C-alpha cells in the first residue's frame, strides 16, 4: 500500500512539473507601466486567427508584478510583448518579458 501511494505521488509531481515546464508564452500589448511599484499591465492577445484578418482578439487586462525591475526597462506602453507569469498567493508575477 505504501509503495502505491509513493508511485502515485511521484506521478502527480511529474505531471505538475511537466505542465508548467511546457507552458506556452503568452502574447499581449503593454497598456501601462508603474516603475515605482514595479508593476505592468498587459492586455492579452489571443493567438491564431479569429474571424478574417483580425490578427487575434483582445483578451483580459492583467496586472503583473515584475520579478526583476530591470525587466521593465526595455518596454513601453503600446509595445507588443511575449511573456510568462506565475500565480502565487493570489498575485501574478512576471517571470519573462520580451518585446516583439
- Residue 22: the pLDDT is 43
What letter would DSSP give residue 83? E
Output the CA–CA distances (angstroms, integers) from residue 49 to 8, 35, 58, in the order listed: 40, 33, 12
Number of domains, the chain? 1
Residue 44 counted as domain residue: yes
Indicate whether 4 pLDDT > 80: no
Between 30-34, 39-43, 91-95, the lowest mean confidence (pLDDT) is in 91-95
Residue 18 counted as domain residue: no
pTM of the prediction? 0.66
Q: In which domain, by residue range, is 42 found?
A: 24-99
The number of beta carbons lying within 10 Å of the beta carbon of residue 94 is: 23
Residue 64 counted as domain residue: yes
Residue 5 counted as domain residue: no
Residue 4 counted as domain residue: no
* CA–CA distance, 55 with 63 (Å, rounded to integer): 23
Element spanning 37, H or E: none
Residue 78 counted as domain residue: yes
The whole-angstrom distance between residue 4's C-alpha and the CA centroid of its chain comes to 35
* pLDDT-above-90 percentage for the chain: 52
Written as nine digits, the cell of 70 is 530591470
Beta-bridge mates of residue 93: 65, 86
Residue 45 counted as domain residue: yes
Which CATH number do you get for residue 81? 2.40.50.320
Please answer whether residues 50 and 61 qualify as being in contact, where contact means their C-beta atoms are separated by less than 8 angstroms: no
Q: How confident is the model at residue 64 (pLDDT cuts 50, 70, 90)?
A: very high
Amino acid at each position: 500500500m505504501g509503495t502505491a501511494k509513493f508511485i502515485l505521488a511521484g506521478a502527480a509531481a511529474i505531471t505538475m512539473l511537466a505542465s508548467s515546464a511546457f507552458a506556452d508564452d503568452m502574447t499581449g500589448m503593454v497598456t501601462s507601466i508603474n516603475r515605482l511599484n514595479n508593476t505592468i499591465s498587459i492586455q492579452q492577445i489571443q493567438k491564431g486567427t479569429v474571424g478574417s484578418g483580425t490578427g487575434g482578439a483582445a483578451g483580459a487586462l492583467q496586472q503583473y508584478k515584475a520579478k526583476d525591475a530591470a525587466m521593465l526597462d526595455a518596454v513601453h506602453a503600446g509595445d507588443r510583448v511575449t511573456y510568462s507569469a506565475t500565480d502565487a498567493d493570489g498575485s501574478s508575477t512576471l517571470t519573462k518579458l520580451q518585446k516583439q
